[in-house]
Amino acid sequence: MAKRIIISGGGTGGHIFPAIAIANALIALQPDTEILFVGAAGRMEMEKVPAAGYRIIGLDIQGFQRSNLAKNLLLPFKLLGSIRKSLQIIKDFKPHAVVGVGGYASGPLLYAASIKKIPYLIQEQNSYAGITNKLLGKKAEKICVAFDAMDTFFPAERIIKTGNPVRKESVQIVGKRKEAAAFFELDETKKTVLVVGGSLGAGTLNKSMMAGLALLQSQDIQLIWQTGKYYYRGIIDSYGNQPKDNGIRIFEFLNRMDLAFAMADVIISRAGAGTIAELCLVQKPVILVPSPNVAEDHQTKNAMALVNKDAAVLIDDKHAESDLVEQTLKLLKDEAKMKRLSSNIAELALPLADETIAKEVLNIAL
């Protein structure tokens, strides 16, 4: 019998892309599976999920606003309304199982599933679980995690270490450096740094590269710099369209992450869980600058999980503008350390996360 599965959550690419990967894996395992996504109205999943070929329903829900406390006055009403709508969605769709990947919509939908006695699975991406997942984890059939020692937050007997699903096309980089050099119009033989701050960008990374750009160029280091949507125009206005012979390539968004990863000798990044999962598979030396603007400071905890295994270098956000480029150049000159970092991060890779999670979802389905 065909199974009906709801996948809930979203808000950022870090939640949406793994959710779509799980959906694709479910269809690959059982092609007649019916999948419905539930996301937050007005967030990027409402565009990305239909583009991937799946149906989505939006909830009028928001997260707790630390920067504007007045906006939180509506939160209890939105939460109650979202739970009511989630109960109706479950009644109409009659799912055999529900998956929560994190994000605003995940909480109300999983709570509604628990009321209706629908088995659900939580995919906890981070090394430090948020309050919602900790509460909902008590009744989850399975909790799929990407880091060790998660029994601090969840019942140990329900935890499965699966890793985080990634976009497979982004991490298939073997033998692509020549193609990447041609694509970016760079010199295949020169050292290249890749800076990625996510689809929206990371202000600290951009300021750090602006502060250290002249130093990088003086050392004849090439740069692929993904600024993100919010910062691209200002950076281009400052630097103009870079001439082809200067080795600096500035992009709002990178559509060919595989080629960017293939070209990189060192990667500078934030420390979101999905990004870390990709970096483990890419197996390049990594410098992580965790964002301090996330709940429970989970990016720092994600980064430390790698640093403690000598699998990445960490630079604090507050020190990045003064230290990042200098530390990058230092790493590029230390071949032994680069090799060690690559080897250690490779050992943390879990390439079959999407398929493993999909199998667990089908196992718990009523």
Ordered DSSP codes for 127-166 = SS--HHHHHHTTT-SEEEESSS-GGGTS-GGGEEE-----
The answer to whether residues 10 and 43 touch, using CB atoms and an 8 Å cutoff, is yes
Ordered DSSP codes for 54-103 = -EEEEE------SS-GGGGGGHHHHHHHHHHHHHHHHHHH--SEEEE-SS
The answer to whether residues 349 and 166 touch, using CB atoms and an 8 Å cutoff, is no
CA–CA dist 249, 29 (Å, integer): 40
The answer to whether residues 101 and 39 touch, using CB atoms and an 8 Å cutoff, is no
User: Which pair of structure tokens corresponds to residue 287?
Assistant: 């410098």
CA angle 234, 238, 243 (to 5 degrees): 115
CA distances from 348 to 163, 179, 355 (A): 9, 27, 17
CA–CA dist 104, 15 (Å, integer): 10
Is there a binding annotation on residue 13? Answer: yes
Is there a binding annotation on residue 42? Answer: no
Is there a binding annotation on residue 199? Answer: yes
Phi/psi at 154 (5° precision): -130, 160
Is there a binding annotation on residue 308? Answer: no
Residues belonging to the binding site for UDP-N-acetyl-alpha-D-glucosamine are: 12-14, 126, 167, 199, 299
Q: Would you list which residues are annotated within the binding site? A: 12-14, 126, 167, 199, 299
